[in-house]
């Protein structure tokens, strides 16, 4: 891991240190190899107390001056502290410059700003928070902090959610009010303080999900662990942070968060997603049933025109069913249209060529299109391919190519055949065929354009559709 990667890992977790110390944190990195300047590359404010920096200083540059705190900490490898700084209106601010060391050499300086006017009266919570902040600061200077990054940052607990202080022998010496409330919801009885953390967790951890190695070793504080405890409809997420003095264990800092409501919401979303999938699946099945009924009806007719009309209707229903089949496998608001197009081409080639062999293929990619456009677009592709096979090639053997091209939000679709081409008096819009009427109506609804002309590179015709495909926000 490079120095920059290590600092990025620290910044991803330094909210813990800011909250425990009730302080703003600023990361100063040398701006050049010569080390004549420092640049602020990151800044974070505490959730647990008032800010000491009213304005963002991200990107600010300071000079390498011998009497500056950041310079002193960087050069001496020791914490430089002052209480002379003042916020607006004369509010006192304590500032610590903490050198960040890796392999015995400084790579950056963390400046800690504490608004003393906003500090709460010292109590058990404040004492335990500041003790934890001091130990983490010493670990930072030795290159032992950051620890393991949580697997799910959205559910990761913070000191404001709940803190449990566990001594090296496993005894709980302090639990914040939020932590106590969470344990009560899990079914814990009696005082939390004085209990053995491992034994207490054993009693409550019906359904614990281990994210680390062996749970026994992790609960002893030898490894960093993240796990969930669910009991009686309540759930909590725990993150165990081992604390170390220079050579001996200082126990653990346990961050915990009541995730009962979040888990319930997740389950509701999973149920909703499954319902949406099932709806698309059933719509697809129903449309396929309709297509099968149309096929059966066409076989009973003696009129060629009637048979052809029912086959066309069956093809259109089947193309819509393919879109719903794709949506049944996706939870997003977008459809990967290449798969839909390939299925349409297979179906059209099988149904439309009453004589000979038609090869329909796609070259290029549609990318993803909004689900609201997918059905209309599938119908357009189906009708244009069908029109090329039936009219352009007279249902004989040949090739039909679908050539999609994306340029930002602009989607251009070209459908080319190798047939006899358009008659000299062809004018788009003067036709009475149902297929072209459907195509024109759908493209108008999509705010697109349609053009059909003879090919310049050989025999046959080419239909060009151009439309805007808006990007779907994630």
54-69: pLDDT as tens digits: 889 999 999 888 888 8
Asked whether residue 457 falls in the same domain as residue 338, the answer is: yes
Flag whether 426 is in a domain.
Answer: yes
Asked whether residue 326 falls in the same domain as residue 341, the answer is: no
Please tell me which residue, 350 or 70, carries the higher pLDDT value. 70
Q: Are 109 and 99 in contact (CB under 8 A)?
A: yes
Q: For the domain that residue 386 is a member of, what is the CATH number?
A: 3.30.565.10
Q: Look at residue 83 in the predicted model and tell me its pLDDT.
A: 65
Q: Are 349 and 358 in contact (CB under 8 A)?
A: yes
Asked whether residue 209 falls in the same domain as residue 96, the answer is: no
Q: Which two tokens stand for residue 131?
A: 């003790």
Q: Look at residue 44 in the predicted model and tell me its pLDDT.
A: 94
Range of the domain at 280: 260-331
Asked whether residue 323 falls in the same domain as residue 353, the answer is: no
Q: Are 231 and 206 in contact (CB under 8 A)?
A: yes
Characterize the bridge pairing of strands 249-258 and 163-166.
antiparallel
Model confidence at 16, in pLDDT bands (50, 70, 90)? very high
Residue 417: how many CA atoms within 13 Å on its side-chain side?
26
Flag whether 155 is in a domain.
Answer: no
Choose the final residue of a domain: 89, 104, 120: 120
**Burial of 233: CB neighbours in 10 Å, binned 0-12, 13-18, 19+:** exposed
Assess whether pLDDT exceeds 70 at residue 88: no
Element (H, E) at 187: none
Asked whether residue 344 falls in the same domain as residue 321, the answer is: no
Please tell me which residue, 205 or 420, carries the higher pLDDT value. 420
Q: How many domains does the chain have?
A: 4
Q: Look at residue 148 in the predicted model and tell me its pLDDT.
A: 61
Flag whether 373 is in a domain.
Answer: yes
Asked whether residue 358 falls in the same domain as residue 429, the answer is: yes
**Burial of 171: CB neighbours in 10 Å, binned 0-12, 13-18, 19+:** middle
Model confidence at 218, in pLDDT bands (50, 70, 90)? very low
Model confidence at 86, in pLDDT bands (50, 70, 90)? low
pLDDT tens digits along 307-357: 878 877 887 788 778 777 776 666 667 888 888 888 888 877 665 555 567
What lies within 8 Å, CB to CB, of 251 at 6+ separation is: 165, 166, 167, 168, 173, 221, 242, 243
Flag whether 144 is in a domain.
Answer: no
Q: Look at residue 209 in the predicted model and tell me its pLDDT.
A: 44
Report the C-alpha gap between 192 and 166 in whole angstroms.
11
Helix axes 304-327, 337-352, angle to 10 degrees: 160
Count CB-CB contacts under 10 A for residue 308: 14
Asked whether residue 472 falls in the same domain as residue 351, the answer is: yes
Asked whether residue 354 falls in the same domain as residue 473, the answer is: yes
pLDDT tens digits along 163-180: 999 999 989 999 999 999
Q: Is the CA virtual torsion 366, 372, 373, 375 positive or negative?
A: positive
Give strand pairing partners of 308.
none
Q: Look at residue 207 in the predicted model and tell me its pLDDT.
A: 44
Assess whether pLDDT exceeds 80 at residue 270: no
What lies within 8 Å, CB to CB, of 16 at 6+ separation is: 136, 158, 159, 241, 255
Laid out side by side, the sheet with 61-63 consists of 61-63, 37-44, 24-30, 105-115, 93-102, 80-82
Q: Look at residue 356 in the predicted model and tell me its pLDDT.
A: 60
Please tell me which residue, 228 or 368, carries the higher pLDDT value. 368
DSSP state of 296: H
Flag whether 130 is in a domain.
Answer: no
Report the C-alpha gap between 221 and 262 in whole angstroms.
27
Please tell me which residue, 119 or 335, carries the higher pLDDT value. 335
Assess whether pLDDT exceeds 80 at residue 449: yes
Flag whether 91 is in a domain.
Answer: yes
Average pLDDT across the chain, whole number: 81
Q: Look at residue 118 in the predicted model and tell me its pLDDT.
A: 65
Assess whether pLDDT exceeds 60 at residue 212: no
Q: For the domain that residue 34 is a member of, what is the CATH number?
A: 3.30.450.280
Q: Which two tokens stand for residue 161?
A: 């959610």
What lies within 8 Å, CB to CB, of 351 at 6+ separation is: 311, 314, 315
Report the C-alpha gap between 339 and 323 in whole angstroms.
9
Choose the final residue of a domain: 205, 226, 258: 258
Flag whether 297 is in a domain.
Answer: yes
Assess whether pLDDT exceeds 50 at residue 215: no
Q: Which two tokens stand for residue 264?
A: 């319930």
Asked whether residue 355 falls in the same domain as residue 299, the answer is: no
Q: Look at residue 213 in the predicted model and tell me its pLDDT.
A: 36
Asked whether residue 411 falls in the same domain as residue 434, the answer is: yes
Asked whether residue 363 falls in the same domain as residue 474, the answer is: yes
Q: For the domain that residue 251 is a member of, what is the CATH number?
A: 3.30.450.20
Asked whether residue 366 falls in the same domain as residue 467, the answer is: yes
Per-position DSSP letters for 377-410, written without gaps between them: HHHHHHHHHHHIIIIISTT-SEEEEEEEEEETTE
Q: Look at residue 210 in the predicted model and tell me its pLDDT.
A: 43
Choose the final residue of a domain: 331, 349, 377: 331
Flag whether 136 is in a domain.
Answer: no
What lies within 8 Å, CB to CB, of 300 at 6+ separation is: none
């Amino acid at each position: 891991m490079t120095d920059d990667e290590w600092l990025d890992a620290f910044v991803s977790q330094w909210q813990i240190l800011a909250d425990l110390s009730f302080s703003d944190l600023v990361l100063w990195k040398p701006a050049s190899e010569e080390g004549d300047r420092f640049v602020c590359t990151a800044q974070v404010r505490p959730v647990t107390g008032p800010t000491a920096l009213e304005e963002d200083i991200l990107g600010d540059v300071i000079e390498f001056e011998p009497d500056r705190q950041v310079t002193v900490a960087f050069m001496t490898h020791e914490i430089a502290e002052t209480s002379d700084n003042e916020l607006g209106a004369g509010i006192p601010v304590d500032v610590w410059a903490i050198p960040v060391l890796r392999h015995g050499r400084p790579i950056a300086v963390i400046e800690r700003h504490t608004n003393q006017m906003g500090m709460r009266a010292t109590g058990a919570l404040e004492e335990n928070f500041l003790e934890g902040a001091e130990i983490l600061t010493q670990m930072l200077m030795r290159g032992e902090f950051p620890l393991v990054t949580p697997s799910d940052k959205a559910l990761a607990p913070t000191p404001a959610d709940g803190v449990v202080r566990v001594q090296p022998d496993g005894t709980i010496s302090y639990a914040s009010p939020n932590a106590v409330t969470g344990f009560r919801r899990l079914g814990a009885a009696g005082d939390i303080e004085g209990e053995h953390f491992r034994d207490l967790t054993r009693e409550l951890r019906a359904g614990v999900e281990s994210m680390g190695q062996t749970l026994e070793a992790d609960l002893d504080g030898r490894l960093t662990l993240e796990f969930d405890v669910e009991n009686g409809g309540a759930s909590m997420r725990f993150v165990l942070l081992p604390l170390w003095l220079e050579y001996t264990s200082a126990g653990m800092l346990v961050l915990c968060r009541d995730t009962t409501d979040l888990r319930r919401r997740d389950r509701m979303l999973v149920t909703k997603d499954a319902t949406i999938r099932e709806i698309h699946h059933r719509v697809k099945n129903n449309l396929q049933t309709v297509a099968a009924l149309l096929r059966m009806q066409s076989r009973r007719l003696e009129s060629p025109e009637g048979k052809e009309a029912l086959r066309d209707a069956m093809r259109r229903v089947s193309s819509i069913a393919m879109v719903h089949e794709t949506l049944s496998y996706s939870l997003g608001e977008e459809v990967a249209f290449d798969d839909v197009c390939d299925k349409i081409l297979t179906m059209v080639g099988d149904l439309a060529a009453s004589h000979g062999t038609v090869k329909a293929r796609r070259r290029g990619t549609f990318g993803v299109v909004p689900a609201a456009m997918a059905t209309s677009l599938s119908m357009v592709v189906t009708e244009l391919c069908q029109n090329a096979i039936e009219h352009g090639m007279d249902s004989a053997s040949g090739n039909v190519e679908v050539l999609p091209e994306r340029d930002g939000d602009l989607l251009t679709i070209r459908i080319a055949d190798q047939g006899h081409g358009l008659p000299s008096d062809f004018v788009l819009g003067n036709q009475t065929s149902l297929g072209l009427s459907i195509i024109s109506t759908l493209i108008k609804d999509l705010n697109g354009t349609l053009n059909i002309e003879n090919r310049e590179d050989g025999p046959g015709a080419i239909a060009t559709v151009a439309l805007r495909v808006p990007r779907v926000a994630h």
